[in-house]
Structure 1
Amino acid sequence: MTPSSDSLVNTNLPLRVLQVGAGGMGRTWLRTLLSHDRVELVGLADLDVARAKAALDETGAPDVPTARTLEELIDHVAADVVLDVTVPEAHHTVTMQALRRGLPVLGEKPLAASLAEALELVAASQAYGRLFMVSQSRRYDANLVAFRRLLRRLGRIGILTTQFFKAPRFGGFRDAMAHPLVLDMAIHSFDSARYLLGVDPVAVYCDEHNPAWSWYAGDAASTAIFEMADGSRYVYTGSWCSPGLETSWNAAWRASGEYGSAVWDGDSPPTLEVAEGADAGEETDDAEETVHPGIAGSLREFVHAVRTGSTPMGEAADNVLSLAMVHAAIESSRSRQRVVVADVLERAHAEALERATGEVRDVLASWTSLTPPG
C-alpha cells in the first residue's frame, strides 16, 4: 500500500492522506483537507474510534474509513502521505511508523515531545528518504510576510521583541503541562523570529513563572532573551493567564534597526518609520506576498514539496532549531542560568544516539555538526 517516492513527484493526481488525530485541532485539519482540491482524505485514525466517526460526520465525510491506529489503516487503505494531529507525546510513534512505511509526514507542532525524539525523527526522515515537515502555520500569515519585508529595510537589526498576552481556558492536556506557554505556544513566536531575522539562536536566558491566579498546573508566563547569531537580541514576553487588553494570537511585535523601527500588532498590516536621512531603500514587491493563511498554507506547501521534491518551510531538519529554542529556554528557566543552544543540541544528540537503532542511528552518527543537515 506504500507508494515509491518517485511516484509522487510531478503528478497531478490528488495526494491520498491518512490523518491521525480527531480532536479539536484534528477537526480543523479535516475541514482544511476536505476543502483542498489537490488532496483526498482516505482514512482517519484515533484511539477513540467513535470520536473519529463523529468528526467525519461533522465535517461531511462519513464514508471515510476509520481505525484506532495508523498501523491498522496503512495495511488496508492505499495512501500517499500522513497528517499527524496527535498530542505531542504521540508524534514520535506516529511519524516513525509513517516514515518506516515510506510515507511523507506533515505534523503539527511541536516536532516531537523531546529534542532527542525530534533529532531521531530528523534522522529517520533522511534514512528513509521521506519528507517530514512541521506545520509552522504562523509563517503563512500575509502580514508576517509583509513585516519581514519591512525588516529588510531597517539595515542591521538590534532587537526584535514579542509580547503575547492571552487568557484561554482550553482544558485537556495543556492545563496539565509543566511548560504550557513555552512548549505549546511560544514555539510559534520563536519560529517566527527565526523567519523574520533570518538567523539562528546562540544562547538564551529565560525566566518562567506561574501567576497566583493561574488555572494551569505548569508555568504559564515567561520572559526569554535570545542572543542571535548576528549579534541581535530577540526578547519574548508572554502569559497565558492574562485577561484584559489581550494581544493577537500572532502576538505584538517590534523591531529596532539601524535605519528605523517597524511594528506589527499581529492582525493589521505592519508599519515602518525610517529615521530622517536614513537610506533604507524602497520596499520590494516579491513572490512572498501571495500566501495562503494558517494551516491551509502549510498544507499547500507540503503538497507542493511532495510533488516537486522541493524543500518546504518547516522541513524537520530546519524546524528542529525552533524546538531547540524552546528546550534551551526551559533549561535556562530551571537552572536560572544562560544556556547555549548548541550545548542543548549536543546533549539531545547523545540521547538520540542511545535511543536509535539501525539506519536511523547510522544517520545520527554521521552528522558532523550540532545542526542536523537539511
Structure 2
Amino acid sequence: MNEALLRELVPAVIGVLVRRGADFAAAEDAVQEALIRALETWQAEPPRDAKGWLVTTAWHKFLDAVRAETARRGRESLVEVRPQTGPATDDSLWLYFLCAHPALSPGSAVALTLRAVGGLTTRQIAAAYLVPEATMAQRISRAKRRITGLPLDRPGDLATVLRVLYLVFNEGYSGELDLAAEAIRLTRQLAAASDDPEISGLLALMLLHHARRTSRIDQAGRLVPLAEQDRSRWDTTLIAEGVTILQTALARDRLGEYQAQAAIAALHADAPTATETDWVQIVEWYDELLLLTDSPVVRLNRAVAVGEADGPRAGLAALADVDPHLPRHNAARAYLRYRAGDLEQAAALYTEASLTATNLPERDHLAREAARIQRLTEIADQC
C-alpha cells in the first residue's frame, strides 16, 4: 500500500468532487471514506488508475450521503458535472487557499490543511498535537462548517497560506507524525505550483532549520542552544539545497520576510563555528526584516544579534526598546546580562524566564542555565 501516493492524490480528488457540485465539507468527508475503503481493499499494488478509482469511490460515497438525506432530495441534481479546468496541481493550489480562508482561525486552518491537502487522518493529526481524536475531529468539523456555503472567491491570501504552513512546521515532531517533514512536503508542492519567491523563501527557511534538527537535542533529551550544537551533525545536503533555493529567490529582487529569515538561517549554517558567525551581516538582515514586518519578536532577536556584533551592552540597549512582556524577553536579557558579567542578575532572570517557558525542554534549559550561573556566582563570592 503506497500511502504517500494516496496523500498526494487527495487534493486532486477533492477538487474533482467540488467541481461536480459537492460542497467542500461533503467532498472532504467522501474522500476520507474512499481512503478508508482503499486501505481495506487495495493490496500491495494500487489499481492501474489510482486517481480514477478514488474519484469514482468518493463520488459514490458522496451520492450515497446525498440520497440518505431525504429532506434534501433535490441535491441529486448535483450529478451534472461542471467543466474540468486546469491540471491536477491547480486543485492542490486552490485547496491551500481555501483552507486558509479568512473565516478560519490559524489553528483551524492548520488542521484543515493537514486533512485536505496533506491527506492525513484525524487520528494522525490528533496524535501530532497530543489531543484526543474526538477533540481534533470537532475542530476539523467546525472548520469545515465555517467555510461551507461561503463564496469560494474569498480564499485566504498567500501570506495566510504561508503562515499556516509555517505554523505546521513550527509544531516540529511529536507523536507518530513528523509535522516538520510534513510541512516541508506541503511547501514543496506549493512551490512546484507557483513561482512566487516568498514560497521559495519559506521552503529554504524550513530546509535550513530542519538541517540542524538532530543536533538540537542531546542524548539525555535536553535542549542544545545553537552556539553549542555539534555542527558536524548538521545535514549539509539540506543546507546546500536551502541555500540554492534562497539564492534563486533573492535574485528575483522581490524580498519578503521569509526570504530575509532564510538569509539569517543561511548565515548561521555557513559559519564553521559559532564564533565565526557573521553577526554584523545578520543584524543587517534583521534590519531588512524589521522594514518588512516591524515585529516585536524580530526586534527581540535583533537585540540579541546586536549583542553578539557590538557587545552585550549594545544588545541590552536595543532590548530596552522591546516590550518586556514579550515571551523570551527575560531569557534574552538574562543571556546579555551574563555576557556582560552581571552574573547575579543573569541567574535571577534565567529563573524567571524558566517559570514562563512554553515547553518542557526550554524550561529545563533555562532552569539549568540559572543553576549554572548561580554556582559561578557562589564560586566568585568565595574567591
TM-score, normalisation: structure 1: 0.27
Report the structure number with the largest CA radius of gyration. Answer: 2
Length-normalised TM-score, structure 2: 0.27
More helix by share: 2
Higher relative contact order (CA 8 A, sep 6+): 1
